[in-house]
Structure 1
């Protein structure tokens, strides 16, 4: 009790910068990423840019103040002071506001799309780290089996029941599993750092992961997914770009109507010693430049935006269907590994090792069983990776898939 009290008292004097590592769950990783990730923060700045464009679009043209002198001789000069104001005709200001407003909508949808991508990146990194954890555990289990096989082989050689070649084979197998462990440790460290990066941190603040299942779960209903495709951020962004291009077309058409400039001022003649008021109006004559080229270009950009929207929908539907098929196939493979392949391969190793120990089998049978188990574990992790990649593809398009998951 005294030692515990002393440790508590010493906590405030612990070395600065030493932070106790903790666990990390997927919801916590996603929340940290949406708060700290610099890429998403940069995307959010675009909303402020669009707000500035919208504010600028609604401003009126500044008035113009002019001063001129005719005849610079002191006694005969004429001084004119004019104040001019351009009056925008044809709805130019409203058209500019419409373009800027559509730009605001597009900026917000771009942030939502980037958020979906970030969520998918976090999910990918989190499940990659989980697989790295599992891969290290499986590699250590394989190492333990190889160590047991070596011990059995050495015992039989000492008893004169087996050839020393069997020990050499067991040592080679043990060296291979040692290599697997070292690679798994490196992979785990790299995957943890990648996960920390996606959450916006350059240092590891966690030393373990919290999760219930190793697999990314079952794929959502295809009917629900395709029903919601029009609500996906990327497709809504493509639609917003159509509206933005249409608004730009309206703005270019408004530019065909020339603006009117109204002027009012005062003129003073030193020679006559008189001051007179001056009023004027000016307007360009649209004889040659009627903005026809810009109108044509804007119309083609509007058509282009519609084609791009259709292309986006086609791509999203194809990617979604392919991802759902891969997801379902991978999860069936994972189920087969969990229920049949891995338990059978592990039982085969145990049986081969006991049989070799009792002299019923040679060590080649043990090696074959061990390598079969190691290969099966590798294929198991590959199936998990395939399922995760499919989930990430779908989540990048639709965002949080918990909204589409059906529970029995």
Structure 2
């Protein structure tokens, strides 16, 4: 018979499964993909942060359009001295108002810079929304796949349990050697490990979706819908690449270029001195006479013509332009990769659906029947069952890869190409 250790492990696994089934638990919340995305957008902190940045940008724009404040000055000359100048009796009192006049278009350039920054903040919010949608859709599809894998692993464990029982009965009747029973117990143990791994993957998939909803704890979720291939109207790669230029991250980068260009212009305008004009009145207490006062002051840019800041702003603007080009290349490379993965994984999934899965099921069915009639041995039986199980598992992985690649393409182009979820095939769902 099978070794006592393996037999104990098998019994332990069966006990754990029994506890898992019999323990009362709260029902899982069912969630659709659209609801999952809506909840993520409503709860995600990054989106709130991005919205706060937009509000801050509005304040920056308001501040950028304000003019310099005028200055009031009051002076007393020939006061609080000695002799005739004791106190304020002989003091000359002056009151004046001065105003700095900004030249070189500084105010308009400040506003241009603030508008560019505000536009960048708005586009950054759009980028956060799009990235969040992509991450949530991927997490949802992974949850669908994890649910499917648990279902397949549970069926496989049940199948192996029945096979192991049948082998034990044949051994007890002397119709098969004890080695056959040992092989069945080993296959049962491996199916238990597979189920345990699938259940762990399901927990991880649920937690990933909950994290996107800004939930710290764990609870059961059930994704609704079918893990199926999608019927799409996906255009060719060349057409898709044209749509990359509308990606929000490129908009953010281009807004940085505009902001940098405005910053460069602002630094150049600061090289233009701003005069300060003042008007006032002076009263001469000693002779009890008054006179008006007019003043003009202007900095002389002898040593500091703001040349260092101009140079730095120009370099930053050039770096921002290069960043736009680099981002375009990265997005195009990501799109090419996603497109290739979509083509290959979807083709693979179709081959599993149309050829591999039906053949694996037919083979397993035929060998089960032949084994009962004595035409095949236990290795043939267990091998056929394993091929059927592995084929179903690989089919799920192929469909998952296909769906994830399509979501990535949609996120990069901003369009939706999945017109309807077509069944992977009813046969595939039964595998």
Whether TM exceeds 0.5 here: the answer is yes
SS at 1:279 equivalent: strand
Matched, 1:160 2:174: yes
Change (3 A) 1:41 1:205: farther
After superposition, the C-alpha distances for 1:59-113 in whole angstroms (9 at most, x for unaligned) are 1111112233323331333332222111111110000000001111111111111
Unaligned runs of at least 5 residues, structure 2: 1-24, 82-86, 423-431
* C-alpha separation in 1, matches of 2:77 and 2:251: 61
Moved more, 354-363 or 187-196: 354-363
Q: 2:277 pairs with 262, 271, 280, which one?
A: 262
2:125 maps to 111
SS of the aligned residue for 1:228 comes to: helix
| Among candidates 123, 139, 145, match of residue 131 of structure 1 | 145
What is the SS of the residue equivalent to 2:280?
A: strand
Question: TM-score normalized by structure 2?
Answer: 0.84
Tell me what 1:245 maps to: 260
Give, in angstroms, the shift of residue 19 of structure 1.
Answer: 9.2
Structure 1 window deviating more from structure 2 (206-215 vs 41-50): it is 206-215
The 5-angstrom pairing of residues 161-310 of structure 1 reads: 161-202=175-216, 207-215=221-229, 218=232, 220-222=234-236, 223-310=238-325
CA contact (8 A) 1:54 1:97 kept: yes
- Within-5 A mapping of 1:5-404: 22-71=29-78, 72-73=80-81, 74=87, 75-202=89-216, 207-215=221-229, 218=232, 220-222=234-236, 223-402=238-417
Separation (CA, whole Å) in 1 of partners of 2:416 and 2:393: 28
Secondary structure of 1:285 counterpart: coil
Distance 1:160 1:143 in 2: 25
**By how many angstroms is 1:257 displaced?**
1.1
Once the two structures are TM-superposed, the CA of residue 387 in structure 1 deviates from its matched residue by 2.3
Moved more, 108-117 or 300-309: 300-309
| TM-superposed deviation, 1:406 | 10
SS of the equivalent of 2:272 reads coil
- Report the more deviating stretch, 303-312 or 199-208: 199-208
RMSD across aligned positions (CA): 2.5
Whether the aligned pair in 2 keeps the contact of 1:146 and 1:174 (CA below 8 Å) is yes
The number of residue pairs the alignment matches comes to 390
TM-score w.r.t. structure 1 length?
Answer: 0.88
Provide closer, same or farther for how the CA distance between residues 240 and 216 of structure 1 changes in structure 2, counting only shifts above 3 A.
farther
Which shows bigger deviation, 199-208 or 305-314?
199-208
How far 1:166 sits from its partner (Å)? 1.3
Q: SS where residue 74 of structure 2 aligns?
A: strand
**Change beyond 3 A, Cα 1:219–1:375:** farther
* 2-structure distance, mates of 1:265, 1:330: 82
User: Structure 1: which 5+ runs fail to align?
Assistant: 1-17
Contact 2:231/2:419, CA 8 A, preserved across alignment: no
* Residue of structure 2 in register with 1:5 after alignment: none
| CA-to-aligned-CA distance 1:199-220 (integer Å, 9 cap, x gap) | 3344568732221343466582
Distance 2:46 2:403 in 1: 23
Partners in 1 of 2:229 and 2:71 — Cα distance? 69
**CA offsets, 1:335-379, max 9 Å, x none?**
111122122223323333332222222211122222223332332
Residues 288-339 of structure 1 show CA distances to partners (whole Å, capped at 9, x for unaligned) of 2222222222222222222221221122122111210111100011111112
For residues 90-143 of structure 1, what are the alpha-carbon distances to aligned partners after superposition, in whole Å with 9 as ceiling and x for unaligned?
A: 110000000001111111111111111111100110011001000001101111
* Partners of 2:147 and 2:202 within 8 A in 1: yes
18-27 vs 289-298, which moves further: 18-27
Pair 1:349–1:407, CA change in 2 (3 A): closer
Residues 389 and 208 (structure 1), Cα distance of their counterparts in 2 relative to 1, 3 Å cut:
closer
Kindly state the Cα deviation for residue 22 of structure 1 after the two structures are TM-superposed.
3.8
CA offset digits 1:253-308 (Å, max 9, x no partner): 21121111111223233333333322211111122222222222222222222222
